[in-house]
Amino acid sequence: MKILDRYILKAHAGTFFFAFVTIMFVFILSFLTKFLDRLVGKGLDMGIVVEMLLLQSAWMVGFAVPMAVLVSTVMAFGSLTNSSELTVMRSGGISMTRLIAPVLIASLVLSALVERFNNVMMPEANFRANALLSDITRMKPGFGIDRNAFSNVIKGYSIMARKVDNKTGELTDVVLYDRERPEVRIVITAAKGRIEFSSDYRYLIMTLDNGQIHELTLPRMDRYRKMVFTRHRYVFEAMGYGFERSDENGRRRGGRELSAKDLLAVGKEFRFKSRKAESSSVRGLEELKKQVELIRTGSVPVARPGSGVLPVAQPAKAAVLADAMIEDVSSAIAEIDKNRIEYNKYMVEYHKKYSLAFACMVFALVGAPLGVMARRGGFGVGAALSLLFFVMYWVMMIGGEKIAERGLVTPAICVWLPNVILSAAGLFMLFRLTRSVTASSR
């Protein structure tokens, strides 16, 4: 059986490497299409461009390997079936499960290697890529801003410009959303603007000309303010400009720049902050309930914390006190939501490091029966089926991330559910295939 195992694995090897190279080429081409006009012809050395490309290719490997496993498995088993080799093997008493076993073992080994890559090499490559990006943005502050699309390059803000001049840093038709204060919705528009760093590169300075500031109080939406300006200046910390610098500067790396161990530590930190804010909000609600009861009964004076006693005979002041307490509770709830969202984001990244690696084995389990069923379609059908299943997997993964970030379902379930669904589909197809063979042999 060892000879048979080697033969089956050899049938996969060539297709796997061909699929891997092809998928990497598509990813790299997509990256160049998006960023080449920003990197080339902007006074940057070609070595910097090549280094950026190599560092960015790290995340591509994590996606390309599972895709290549699916394509190679579908094509290899399809080719073995089309040449009747698989039929001969099965007529000799070898079950379909036994034929798939060496592929599953190889994919399990590959999953372990991808897991190590996702936890060791990829975080460091992502960190170095963002560090290199920061050096480029020192020279070209508008590098991270996309034209006609909102960008989150400034932490806590979303910015869009109709036109971006990477040489001068000038922006045209600017729209800026301020997300720093959850209790207030702020939108800034300006006809023109300019983005540049301070002389010590510690701050990012954005100067806007001829614009308006719109403020709306949430959640009641009872206060609206509009301001018109000729020139307005915003100053941001440069550390928040599209990346987190380094741990030596006291800044935390982003989720994709951390290993699974570090992601767990950061997640615990946000969970502790969330529980602390929950305790504060519970105490605030209890105090508010007491104050409301005192105001309703009118029998006991209302105590203002830290400033003596407020008689109930002054209902207007009592109402002001109640509003203040409501705002405190609302702020605590907003802090809870913020910490919960951050916790979910880090936990999503944590589970993705393992689920994407385990996807190699899942796609091998799906690809084997799929290749046998698509034996007559040739390369075109095999590639189309592989693409279809991977798109389904990717849609479920992205949808699960969004659901997990909103806190509707735990991150573990959302991230691992695509693997569970495709594994069930693979086992079902394998069962149907084995059953049909058994029935035909009778």
For residues 157-173, average pLDDT = 79
Please write the tens of the pLDDT for every residue from 277-300: 667 666 666 665 665 665 555 544
Asked whether the whole model's pTM tops 0.95, one would answer no
Task: For residue range 218-276, list pLDDT tens digits in order.
Answer: 777 778 888 899 998 888 776 544 333 334 344 456 677 888 888 888 888 887 777 77
Which of the residue ranges 88-97, 128-137, 266-275, 346-355 has the most confident prediction, judged by mean pLDDT? 346-355
> Which position has the higher pLDDT, 26 or 35?
26
Q: Calculate what percentage of the chain has a pLDDT beyond 90.
A: 10
Contact 353, 118 (CB under 8 A): yes
* Residues 157 and 178: beta-carbon distance below 8 Å: yes
- For the chain, give the secondary structure using H, E and C: CHHHHHHHHHHHHHHHHHHHHHHHHHHHHHHHHHHHHHHCCCCCCHHHHHHHHHHHHHHHHHHHHHHHHHHHHHHHHHHHHHCCHHHHHHHCCCCHHHHHHHHHHHHHHHHHHHHHHHHHHHHHHHHHHHHHHHHHHHHCCCCCCCECCCECCECCEEEEEEEECCCCCEEEEEEEEECCCCCEEEEEEEEEEEEEECCCCCEEEEEEEEEEEEEEECCCCCCEEEEEEEEEEEEEEHHHECCCCCHHHCCCCCHHHCCHHHHHHHHHHHHHHHHHHHHHHHHHHHHHHHHHHHHHHCCCCEECCCCCEECCCCHHHHHHHHHHHHHHHHHHHHHHHHHHHHHHHHHHHHHHHHHHHHHHHHHHHHHHHHHHHCCCCHHHHHHHHHHHHHHHHHHHHHHHHHHHHCCCCCHHHHHHHHHHHHHHHHHHHHHHHHHHHHHHHC
pLDDT at 251: 44
pLDDT score for 292 = 60
Residue 299: the pLDDT is: 47
CA distance linking residue 426 with residue 74, whole number of Å? 12
Instruction: Domain ranges for the chain, please list them.
Output: 2-141+345-441, 157-241, 255-335
